[in-house]
Amino acid sequence: MPVIVSPCRSFRVLSINNQPMSILLVLGLSTIAPSIQAQQQTIYDPITGFVVSENYEIVRAHCTACHSAKLVTQNRMTRDNWLETIRWMQKSQGLWPLGVQEQKILDYLESHYSPIAISRRSPIPSHLMPVLK
């Protein structure tokens, strides 16, 4: 598996040229075994630490272009919060449009980096929260 170590700058150029898909050409995507395998025994990418699972190479390509994979793997967010973070990066951090890849990235993040419900007390459930008009 090729590991992307290219400087962030070059990817920014790509995004400015509106050619985000070319990253994938650089990567040379290969078919990844279905995630059923990963459920039995989680395999981690030795370089990035990402869970090796369906769509992980897409995530690796887009997310580690500018920042460490650790910024992803140390976090746990809901799908909505991951999307919000993507929008924030697009608005202020130079992340390019993700096109049809966006849903796949969110699928991956939701599958492997959702909040873990271990707490001593959770917030009051949403159906019991005030609704501001």
Site residues (CB under 8 A) for other proteins, limited to 90-119: 117-119
Cβ closest to other proteins, residue 100 vs residue 132: 132
CB of 67 to other proteins, least distance (A): 31
Cβ closest to other proteins, residue 92 vs residue 122: 122
101 neighbors 62 (Cβ within 8 angstroms):
yes
Q: How many CA atoms lie within 13 A of 60 on its CB side?
A: 25
Residues 6+ apart with CB under 8 A from 21: 99
Cβ closest to other proteins, residue 31 vs residue 122: 122
Question: Should residue 36 be labelled a site residue for other proteins when binding is judged by CB under 8 A?
Answer: no
CB of 117 to other proteins, least distance (A): 6
CB of 125 to other proteins, least distance (A): 8
Cβ closest to other proteins, residue 9 vs residue 127: 127
Encoding tokens for residue 25?
Answer: 């050409």
Dihedral angle of Cα 97, 112, 61, 17, to the nearest 10 degrees: 0
Instruction: Give the count of beta carbons closer than 10 Å to the beta carbon of residue 90.
Output: 14
Residues 6+ apart with CB under 8 A from 82: 106, 109, 110, 113
Binding residues with other proteins: total (CB under 8 A): 14
Residues that bind other proteins (CB under 8 A): 117-122, 124-125, 127-132
